[in-house]
Amino acid sequence: MRIGSGLDVHAFGTATAGAEVVLAGVALPSHAPLVGHSDGDVVAHAVIDALLGAAGRGDIGERFGVDDPTRAGADSLGMLAEVVAELAADGWSPGNVDVTVVAARPRVAPHRDVMRGRLAEVLGLAAAAVSVKATTTDGLGSIGRGDGVAVWAVATLRPGGAAGSTAGSTGGSGD
């Protein structure tokens, strides 16, 4: 088994009526959109980094650089699905994912179960293998002032077998 961690932060853009932010593929009402080259899904980006880190494959910037015009406005869950497929082709499957969203706004709690479900679907995991938590910084720093959203993610990869099952796991692979 391998473990990786990911961190991503996006700032809010200009406040607009009817704005939304995308977190884990779910559009949440917001005062302003998050700024990003793709759809700005900071949750998906942190999970991508965690998976790539667990596999020893660098980071999201190396894989989906901001200099790639084909990724402008891209669906980040689609990018996550690409990474999961590439890892599967090399014999790795996600074991579980743990996500912590740090934000003063928007409120994540009402959307947590849908976010878990979307991530689980893309990762090929049962929802019970995906955790989405949220916290604030109690007004401290730029995140506490509501300038953006930060996300930490931890993911495990296991060799062989289908995602979400124990088939093919040796438990002592030395990885």
Query: Is 125's pLDDT higher than 90?
Result: yes
Q: Which CATH number fits domain 2-159: 3.30.428.10, 3.30.1330.50, 3.40.50.9100, 3.20.20.70?
A: 3.30.1330.50
Cα separation of 115 and 108, whole Å?
Answer: 9
Domain residues of the chain, as ranges?
Answer: 2-159
Residue type, 106: P
State percent of the chain over pLDDT 70.
91
Query: Closest Cα to residue 4, out of 82, 63, 58?
Result: 58
Number of Cβ atoms within 10 Å of the Cβ of 38: 20
Mean pLDDT of the chain: 89
Q: What is the DSSP letter of 35?
A: P
Cα separation of 19 and 173, whole Å?
Answer: 47
Cα separation of 17 and 82, whole Å?
Answer: 33
Tell me the pLDDT tens digit for each residue of 80-112: 999 999 999 999 999 999 999 999 999 999 999
Strand partners, 99: 132, 153
Query: Closest Cα to residue 67, out of 45, 37, 47?
Result: 37
Phi-psi region of 171 (alpha: psi -120 to 50; beta: other; left: phi over 0): left
Longest CA pairwise span in the chain (Å): 54
Query: Is 162's pLDDT higher than 90?
Result: no
Tell me the pLDDT tens digit for each residue of 33-84: 999 888 899 999 999 999 999 999 999 988 887 777 777 768 999 999 999 9
Helices within the chain (DSSP H only): 42-54, 60-63, 76-89, 112-123, 141-144
